């Protein structure tokens, strides 16, 4: 049986001239029985479409912030690692994947990309704009864990095997208003949207946490990659 080819968007070009991505993403895809293909942010719509012709699914990965101008937001001193090339490339990949009905798994920044493409908006900085008792990140760069309530009866609840899960989290932005067609399917205890799906699409799920960081030891998180790859295999 042919292993599905899964595109994973990467970080922008760093100061050493490299496009990089944390290994946990690729490792999670390989455990799910697929082949990871890294997609660097080097092109626009035409290049994205040519890549997606060869792929069976796309993972929009985490990373730095989206430019607030893309969703009608405001500048904020905590906004970091802005990368116009990555914004342009990932939004092109997201649009093309949505139009081609390719399976999409959107992780952290990736969920924010999908939400923005569909016309939604983000909180630029959760601590400043969202009164929360939940630590969604720990400075300077330490992933933190918190509970997530998943809507019963949703595809995500079925995949995880429960209506509650422990997430590994690192983000200071999140969904303010949902993009067109997106449905919220999980929340943190403070009410922040932690996952969303696009019911009109065959398989498009976005999570605000980082399942790749715990998938090696947390079977529920690995099942998210497994279910995504299975959909990619079915075409």
Identify whether 13 is a catalytic site residue.
Answer: no
Q: Which listed residue (172, 201, 210, 230) is catalytic? A: 210
Quote the CA–CA distance of 184 and 62 in Å, as a whole number: 19
Q: Of 86, 227, 51, 101, give the one whose Cα is nearest residue 155.
A: 227
Q: Of 106, 79, 70, 89, give the one whose Cα is nearest residue 173.
A: 79
Sign of CA dihedral 26, 29, 33, 35: negative
Q: Which listed residue (108, 171, 172, 197) is catalytic? A: 108
Residue 186 dihedral angles phi and psi, to the nearest 5° = -160, 150
Quote the CA–CA distance of 54 and 44 in Å, as a whole number: 16
Q: Which listed residue (124, 194, 212, 230) is catalytic? A: 212
- Residue 229 carries which DSSP code? H
Identify whether 212 is a catalytic site residue.
Answer: yes
Identify whether 204 is a catalytic site residue.
Answer: no
Q: What amino acid positions are annotated as catalytic residues? A: 108, 210, 212
């Amino acid at each position: 049986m042919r292993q599905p080819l899964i595109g994973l968007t990467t970080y922008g070009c760093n100061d050493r001239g490299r496009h990089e991505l944390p290994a946990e993403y690729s490792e999670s895809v390989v455990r799910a029985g697929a082949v990871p293909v890294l997609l660097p942010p080097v092109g626009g719509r035409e290049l994205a479409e040519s890549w997606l012709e060869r792929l069976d699914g796309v993972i929009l990965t985490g990373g730095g912030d989206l430019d607030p101008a893309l969703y009608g937001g405001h500048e904020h001193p905590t906004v970091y690692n802005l990368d116009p090339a990555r914004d342009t490339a990932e939004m092109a990949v997201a649009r093309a994947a949505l139009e081609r009905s390719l399976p999409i798994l959107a992780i952290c920044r990736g969920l924010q990309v999908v939400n923005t493409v569909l016309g939604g908006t983000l909180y630029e900085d959760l601590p400043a704009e969202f009164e929360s008792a939940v630590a969604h990140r720990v400075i300077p760069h330490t992933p933190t864990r918190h509970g997530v309530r998943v809507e019963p009866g949703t595809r995500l609840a079925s995949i995880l095997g429960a209506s509650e899960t422990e997430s590994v989290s690192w983000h200071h932005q999140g969904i303010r208003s949902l993009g067109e067609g997106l449905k919220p399917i999980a929340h943190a205890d403070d009410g922040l949207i932690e996952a969303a799906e696009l019911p009109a699409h065959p398989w498009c799920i976005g999570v605000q946490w980082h399942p790749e960081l715990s998938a090696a030891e947390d079977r529920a998180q690995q099942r998210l990659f497994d279910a995504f790859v299975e959909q990619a295999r079915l075409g």
